[in-house]
Structure 1
């Protein structure tokens, strides 16, 4: 193109040429030519490089020939405008045009510092071929990537009817233990370094991590719809905001923090999330990869809608929100979530850290590890209503939030036929405020756990099936709910059908059900039930389905034969030692019921971590007797017992013996049934008679250890900093009840360990 200015002719490069708005460009990988005009089907361009070197204008359309394949990266330039996006689409008949990154580019399709784009009807893949070493082919890869770093708000992205598959993205976890690193999998990579590979990724960054600008880049009005995302690691769909915690290769933080993507409180003014995100009508599966984790991961988001998706056999979490505000998750089917690639979880839906105004409603969650995980560390609030949870293999609802969080859980139908747990939480996570009203808790397995505490309150729920211990619900309905066709045998969702929510209608209430008209009135109930029926028809029903009132309201204390018997709450804290109110110095035997053995060393209260936050220090320096502090229980604690504490080693092991029990958990014969230890720079535990390393420790850092002991099943779970590291591990020896816990060292196991916040909780 030649432009004449005065007497001077200027040659303007093609990529800078101004095109008329609304121009249609055609690209054909076989019959095209980059020397052609590209503006007709008879004269198409050929290569991605031709497209990538062109700056398109508002309203332009870039049409790729169906049935053709391009290898490399598609990155067209330019921005559209409101009402006139630039569109990438297909023309002709045949399969969707395919963009194959072949593992040679980070992003097979890329947009950066651009806005108002529609990407439609593409097939996208980005795979490094596998080697003989599993995970060795994982890289920093994405299928479609939308990002920016220009400190502007970038608007208007629609991704519609794409097929993104087989993206071999690396697995980077925020925390964890680097001792668990494996080919393609890294732990403790920090916020900005983690969870940003996979099928479709929206995220932002800064030009220089050491000198970030004053304002973030914000993505607004993002929609992914009608698409299939299959076998893409780390995740299927990711939305994530930059926060400034980047690390070098040695793990040292080198970035200057901005706080844009993380939250310290619900009102944190540094939090600058992406806005108005819609994920709708997609099918996401990771069934063909051992490395595919989250199906949908929304973090650094305000204003989100996740609806009518099928998420099948992904890892960690089907749908997860994290540092997010005002997100609704509804009408989704999530099933068969598994643990993969070092992840600790396997839940259907997770409202995680720092999430506020979350609504989880009208979803069918089945065959996952946990149905719903409420893991609102630091703070958060969530409503969980009118969902159907069936046949999840561990916890149907997992209560795992910090004290400042709250959850309203009402009118859900929970059908358990695979687990010993209905609602489960332990230790300090039972200090969060949870209200559970109008739910149906049905279990074919007797004594399925319903965890409770003074802040976990049950009211007017129905308890049915096998014998259950009702957790202090003074208005419990104890009866057979009379489902119309339980158990569910209907089909699950597929790419062609979408969510098969109607399969869950098998758990509707038959006429005469004691759940009809038996519930509490909820003022903000959402207006409809799981099946779309208006609320209420007469008095509220219990469970996820509302039925017309055709029978008298049953007594809330009706208790037919073979139904559970209500009892008083049984969860209780039986021992708690924070040491903050004790004077610094040697710990006296008998203080707070603790037995102290100082032979071979010292047991002292110390001003660590601070002068107002004390802990207990055990130091062993001589081979004489034992150095220990223990707590005994008479009679021994039975049922389900949780023992947790914070542990710290002030220095690294270099040589010699080194084994501190933290703690030994003993039966009434004084035998060690559960043994947790810090030894030679590692954290370990006995699984049966085998000592298993579950992590490494960094000197000076506190670690939270929680052993959840199931005496009826003679197994225990071990959590390290909230991450499950041992699952259903057998005891070392038979344990009829927890008679003693003992933080202990003997022989020539010299060194120091600090212990704080010891808590023992019993349920049973």
Structure 2
């Protein structure tokens, strides 16, 4: 009897899967030749507008295809529960390379919204959302999971998201290319295995991609297993990639470049950084040309985070330095602080070139440690500080200062600090700083270790400085590269930089 019942149950499950896979539909949209009076089920009978999609309910295996080269004005809102073997797919069809564009209207908060969905892929589209005036909170793509439970396997692939004019002020609500939202009071909700890859985010204000979720440690329900990979972020003035309320996020092979200097003087922003996250891995990324009035580092391990790992990244020519490691000592009991950050095998060239005063004057150390961070390891990084553009620009290598408290138990091990001009270290009142075999090439005030390593200096001079004094040519030998949307992403080769340090130590 039990075997029979099990067999019947298995048959029912297989039947439902077979039915789902074989009852799927493909819907076509053609803004020029289509008509909303058509049935939408073939290119010849395509619908014309986004409005026509309101008459369907997406089922596992369904596809919505937009014709290439066409512009579809309005707001696209979609909900669908696919299955692992039959996801729902939003895609393009037709000839040519020009993606179909979903163009939001003047007042729209988003051009595309995916709400409470599972096993859902959106790819190969362009999204724009430009209003007559900047609007706080405006985004291009909003992916939301509210009072739903767990949203599985949302994939955002090869989208171009451009020209979103949100607010430039964070406290007003900012704006973004991609906004990921999870929450809910009746049913706590989160994403599991959300992936953002191969996208191009261009001229979006204020930020490229940012999350909004459960940040309070008293109500901790983080998104799990997020992947952000192979994305190009270009001409975005604020924050690049900011997961919030996530656990086990992987951020790799992303390029953020050429940020415009348009943020108000009140604003702080940086390239890639987590907030209220655990076990974030940030690796093989490049950030250059960040010009925020405050911070403007390539990378950041921010507060309410545990076990952030920043490795094999390349930061150069940013107004701020390579990395910020920070914790607010006055955050309250919703925060766990900043514990266990590791920054290793990264390269900074020509960072810290902020040309104007900000909150603390001309402030742009190569490494900034702010507030009561704990158990931080900064190991085997190369900081190559070139000549600054003016005498007023900050030349500090490391500053460890107060944010309602000071850092404790920070280890700096086997890093290379090169300064083309006299530099300094400023550890203020931070406690239990450990310095182990670091290399100092140049003149430094308050240098934490007095011994010299002539072997290391000679190797660095021979392999780097003789190739080019500015460090780019010599240190690029430690990097690999890949093309992202006709831009070149440089990242650190693990085997090359490890071999380089082994030749020194």
Q: TM-score range by the shorter chain?
A: 0.7 to 0.9
What is residue 17 of structure 2 aligned with on the other side?
A: none
What is residue 398 of structure 1 aligned with on the other side?
A: 368
Matched, 1:460 2:437: yes
Distance (whole Å) between structure 1 residues aligned to residue 199 and residue 165 of structure 2 = 19
Contact 2:80 2:120 in 1 (8 A): no
Measured on the aligned residues, the alpha-carbon RMSD in Å equals 2.5
Q: CA deviation at 1:500?
A: 2.3
What is residue 397 of structure 2 aligned with on the other side?
A: 422
What is residue 40 of structure 1 aligned with on the other side?
A: 42
Matches within 5 A, 1:379-528: 379-393=338-352, 394-402=364-372, 405-417=374-386, 418=388, 419-427=394-402, 430-449=406-425, 451=427, 454-464=431-441, 466-469=442-445, 471-473=447-449, 477=453, 479-480=457-458, 481-482=460-461, 483-484=463-464, 485-486=467-468, 487-489=470-472, 495-501=485-491
Distance (whole Å) between structure 1 residues aligned to residue 170 and residue 158 of structure 2 = 30
What is residue 252 of structure 2 aligned with on the other side?
A: 307
Taking a change above 3 Å as real, the CA distance of residues 140 and 446 of structure 1, as seen in their structure-2 partners, is closer
Distance (whole Å) between structure 2 residues aligned to residue 91 and residue 349 of structure 1 = 38
Taking a change above 3 Å as real, the CA distance of residues 474 and 488 of structure 1, as seen in their structure-2 partners, is closer
What is residue 324 of structure 2 aligned with on the other side?
A: 373
SS at 2:221's partner residue?
A: coil
Unaligned runs of 5+ in 1: 1-17, 131-136, 175-185, 187-193, 207-211, 242-259, 502-529, 535-543, 555-764
1:319 to 254, 261, 272: 272
Contact 1:457 1:473 in 2 (8 A): no
Distance (whole Å) between structure 2 residues aligned to residue 38 and residue 373 of structure 1 = 52
More strand by share: 1
Matched, 1:278 2:227: yes
2:493 to 526, 531, 536: 531
What is residue 232 of structure 1 aligned with on the other side?
A: 204
Deviations 1:199-245 (A, max 9, x none): 11110243xxxxx32x411111111111100111221111220xxxx
Matched, 1:113 2:116: yes
> Radius of gyration: which is bigger?
1
Distance (whole Å) between structure 1 residues aligned to residue 245 and residue 169 of structure 2 = 18
Deviations 1:703-749 (A, max 9, x none): xxxxxxxxxxxxxxxxxxxxxxxxxxxxxxxxxxxxxxxxxxxxxxx
Distance (whole Å) between structure 2 residues aligned to residue 548 and residue 318 of structure 1 = 27
User: TM (normalized to structure 1)?
Assistant: 0.54
What is residue 357 of structure 2 aligned with on the other side?
A: none
Distance (whole Å) between structure 2 residues aligned to residue 367 and residue 295 of structure 1 = 16
Deviations 1:249-278 (A, max 9, x none): xxxxxxxxxxx3223xxxx5x211111111
More contact order relative to length (CA 8 Å, sep ≥ 6): 2
Deviations 1:341-369 (A, max 9, x none): xxx32111111111111100000001111
Distance (whole Å) between structure 1 residues aligned to residue 105 and residue 502 of structure 2 = 60
2:152 to 151, 155, 159: 155
More helix by share: 2
Contact 1:286 1:293 in 2 (8 A): no
Taking a change above 3 Å as real, the CA distance of residues 381 and 53 of structure 1, as seen in their structure-2 partners, is farther
Runs of 4+ in 1 over 6 A off after TM superposition: 491-494
Deviations 1:120-146 (A, max 9, x none): 11110001124xxxxxx3243111111
Matched pairs, number:
435
Matches within 5 A, 1:276-355: 276-286=225-235, 292-314=237-259, 316-339=269-292, 344-355=294-305
What is residue 94 of structure 2 aligned with on the other side?
A: 92
